[in-house]
Amino acid sequence: MKFGIIRERKNPPDKRVVLSPSACLWIKEQFPEVELYVETSDIRVFKDRDYEEAGFPVTDKVSHCDILLGVKEVPVDALVPGKKYFFFSHTIKKQPYNRKLLQAVLEKNIELYDHEVITGRNGQRLVAFGRYAGIVGAYNGIRAYGLKSGLYDIPKAEMLPDRLALIEALEKTKLPDIKILLTGKGRVGSGVKEMLDGMGLKQVDCDTYLTRTFSYPVYCQIDVLEYNKRKDGTPASFQDFYENPQEYESDFMRFSRVTDLYIAGHFYGQGAPAIFTREDAVSPDFNIRVVADISCDIDGPVASTIRASTIADPVYGYDPQTGTETDFRQEGAIAVMAVDNLPCELPKDASEGFGEMFTEYVMPAFFNGDKDGILERARMTSKGHLTDRYAYLQDYVDGK
């Protein structure tokens, strides 16, 4: 079985890759029958020579391979007909900007496996960059707090080599006695927590966070049942929240009253209440002055996220009085960090972590007859058609 690691072709350039040289070595060790080829690239975080030195051929083309592995969307004219492809296609929510891509995948008789829908039997995603978004997002949030307050200035994450260097920079930062709130306990939330713990911040529980003052910085990590409550006052549960989100309202203002920096790392489900609205943000009870919105739903549950920001220019200002963008340094403005491709700032660690997950969870499926259905569930197209699981995308493909 021949696997090809393709060159990333999207702009702005993405340095990440599905398999690092060490992941390739690990695969070769476990599955000696695998042949791995690497398409030459001068933007990838691992250089061509890193793969060559590990014993993997680097070539101009990998179109002789059966299975092609990439990270971002492959431009239509670069898709090789008849192949099996793995990449993030960003089509499962019918994203209009990728309709042509899915149409081309079908026309070219490609079997598309989307990383986003590679799941275990329980529906849990098996390969994702979320942890790295959390790691970089936490760093960027604390950096944004320094820029907003004028108290310190630390380098951009992309200027530092890896996660440990980010933690080192944070450890050297003298944070004032602020309160940091984190929503979300999934992959992103755990990545953020890893950084806050790594820099030595003290975590406190909800009640302590809401009622006590401290002579050092603290953080509190909350989930849906803390920042939402049932409208009718009856007891809430996770299952009830996921099934009946319309029965809930936000209970976030009690946190916004005491929070200085808010890091959003939750998933936002359709129909759930806004966490804070534009009206909430003008309330005298709203004290947050820096928001690091890793979840980054535009015009979504975090009202100050009116657009995504970029790695080049990561922080903008939100004026709560007018609901419009402003200079983040302006008095009264909320500084917003809403970069939507955070893992790209840490391409080496993100690629190594992703490769480990891919090697552990996906590679065995090629050799065990896909006994756990991992490939089957992720296969979006076959023989020019959408598979049953993805048939809901037919109207999108048809341009309706």
Ligand X SMILES: NC(=O)c1ccc[n+]([C@@H]2O[C@H](COP(=O)([O-])OP(=O)(O)OC[C@H]3O[C@@H](n4cnc5c(N)ncnc54)[C@H](O)[C@@H]3O)[C@@H](O)[C@H]2O)c1
- Give the footprint of ligand X on this chain (CB under 6 A): 128-130, 133, 184-189, 223-224, 242, 265-267, 269, 272, 294-296, 339-343
Of the pair 83, 266, the CB lying nearest ligand X is at 266
Beta-bridge partners for 59: 39
Q: What is the DSSP string of 160-207?
A: SSSHHHHHHHHHT----S-EEEEE--SHHHHHHHHHHHHTTPEE--HH
Q: What is the DSSP letter of 389?
A: G
- What count of residues does the chain have? 400
Cis status of the peptide bond prior to 245, with omega within 30 of 0: no
Side chain identity, residue 31: F
CB of 301 to ligand X, least distance (A): 9
Give exposure, 97-122, as e/b (b: 16+ Cβ within 10 Å). Answer: ebbebbbbbbebebbbbbbbbbbeee
Of the pair 4, 189, the CB lying nearest ligand X is at 189
The answer to the question of whether 186 is labelled as a binding residue is yes
CB of 293 to ligand X, least distance (A): 8
Check: CB of residue 334 under 8 Å from CB of residue 288: yes
Of the pair 65, 275, the CB lying nearest ligand X is at 275
Side chain identity, residue 293: D
Q: Which two tokens stand for residue 18?
A: 């599905």
Q: How far apart are CA 156 and CA 185, in angstroms?
A: 25
The answer to the question of whether 223 is labelled as a binding residue is yes
Of the pair 146, 186, the CB lying nearest ligand X is at 186
Closest CA to 14 of 342, 295, 316, 264: 342
CB of 369 to ligand X, least distance (A): 29
Q: How far is CA 106 from the centre of its chain?
A: 27
Closest CA to 377 of 94, 126, 187: 126
Residue nearest to ligand X (CB): 186
Catalytic residues: 72, 90
CB of 14 to ligand X, least distance (A): 12
Side chain identity, residue 88: F
**CA-based torsion, 62, 67, 69, 75: positive or negative:** positive
Closest CA to 206 of 252, 145, 171: 252
Of the pair 130, 198, the CB lying nearest ligand X is at 130
CB of 241 to ligand X, least distance (A): 7
CB of 118 to ligand X, least distance (A): 13
Of the pair 354, 366, the CB lying nearest ligand X is at 354
The values of phi and psi at residue 101, to 5°, are: -65, -45
Binding-site residues, please? 186-187, 223
Residue positions in the annotated binding site for NAD(+)? 186-187, 223
